[in-house]
Chain A
Amino acid sequence: MAASEAAVRVHDVSRRFGHRWVVRNVSMEVFPGEAVLLVGGNGAGKTTLLRVLAGLLRANRGTVDHRGMVGMVAHHTMMYDALTARENLTFYTRLHGLPRDGRGDRLIERLGLAHAADQRIATFSRGMLQRLAIARSLLHDPDVLLFDEPLTGLDDAASRIVLDVIRELKARGAALLIATHQLVELVGETARVGYMVSGRLAALEPIGGRDAGGVVSRYKELVTDGR
């Protein structure tokens, strides 16, 4: 895959719930090796857009095009409380039709969860659950990763591990789209920012050297522009 070809391309996508259009006419591309931030207020449509990109929701209008596999990390872990970390990952390994080559265990190591691998995840802290969810999303070596608030509720140590993973994934050529409110930690990792206002992608542009505060100002600018 050429570096200039987008890993995920979205064209004029819209999605509604009932009569309410939650995502409207969104077009964007994410390229391998980059992390794009997606910012917007609550109800701006970020989560819905990610779910459409992941294939969990059909777009009512428009098209979604992936090259390669997609992984997703969201607010809910998508795993079973009564099973251990290792069992959960083994289950997902089987579902993906992947060989039992210990990849689950390697990911558990990488995400700093080896000490709790055989504990039921009902006992896990928020930080541990988030890290395990990342492990789950990486089992099938996805080319595209969608993150919905990956750093929420994490302590410093866990955040560091997650940021390391994000850097590593970028370096390995994965395309990342990260919806977040936590700009301070992530602005350093991204080159482009998408601003969502009322379901529309008001702008998708280079970060332009802005820091977290700068991004927030830009966002407010776009919100008032839209009125």
Chain B
Amino acid sequence: MTRRERALQTARRGGLVTVIALVGLAVVYVRAIAFTPIERTQGPAQKIFYVHAPIAWATMLAFAVTGLLSLLYLTMRDRKFDLMAAASAEVGTALGIAMLTTGPLWAKPIWGTFWTWDARLTSTLFTFLLFVGYLVLRGALSDFEVRARFSAVLGVMALVLVPFIHVTVYWFRTLHPDPVVMKPEGPSLPAVMLTTLLTSLIVCTVLYIGLVMQRYALAVLEDVREEEEAGDGIS
């Protein structure tokens, strides 16, 4: 198969995965609204949690993947890693925007405000801004080899930065609800809510994968076209 044919196949498969994820998302919505009990202290608004937290997770996953692919590119210099890293960053940014909108929608009824500058929100915002910075840098560099190299460097730096931002966060007082699932003692959600949450988590991860597959395929197709436009190559 030629590179173009492989890319088209990836795009088709990615599309399928995305559709599956969207169906899953619909299932999660139904389950969250109709089949999961209302949380005692927060009321019905708490249900946004079943979408917000998994999307936040998927955003962070996208970020970590971009960082790791950046490291792979720097060590192996295979363009495939660069194109994948960029795809992950774009999808991550989109998911990040979803995260940053569902969050305030949840916050307003619960905290009375759309946004606070508390530690976790601020740190998440900075991580999101790192993504945006990565994409802005890529947009500003036209030579693809320079672009790949430089964004890989930024990707690796950003990956190492995130734990630091995380720690800086924890040493602040925070309004954000304390972790309910990722606590050392184990999740403290009742089973039925936990199931909804975990289902949503899986669905969002699958959605991420499907979107990245498609975006990557698109990047490869663009690359193939540019290669053809550049004319004859070397013998």
Contact = CB atoms under 8 A, between A and B. Distances in A.
B231 A20 contact: yes
B234 A18 contact: no
A61 B145 CA distance: 15
Q: Is the interface of A mostly helix, strand, loop or mixed?
A: strand
A18 B226 contact: yes
B178 interface: no
Q: How large is the interface on B (under 10, 10 to 19, 20 to 34, 35 or more residues)?
A: 10 to 19
Contact of B143 (A17, A21, A24): A17
Interface string A13-26: 01001111100110
B144 A18 contact: yes
Nearest to A23: B234
Nearest to A61: B234
A18 B141 CA distance: 11
Interface in B189-235: 223, 226-227, 229-231, 233-235
Contacts of A17: 143, 145
A18 B235 contact: no
A30 to B, nearest CB: 22
Interface in B118-158: 142-145
Contacts of B144: 18-19
A24 B145 CA distance: 18
A61 B235 CA distance: 11
A21 B142 CA distance: 16
Interface string B18-61: 00000000000000000000000000000000000000000000
A24 B234 contact: yes
Interface of A: 14, 17-21, 24-25, 61
12 contacts: A18-B142, A18-B144, A19-B144, A19-B226, A19-B227, A19-B230, A21-B230, A21-B233, A21-B234, A24-B235, A25-B234, A25-B235
Q: Which 3 A-B pairs have the closest CB atoms?
A: A19-B230, A24-B234, A19-B227
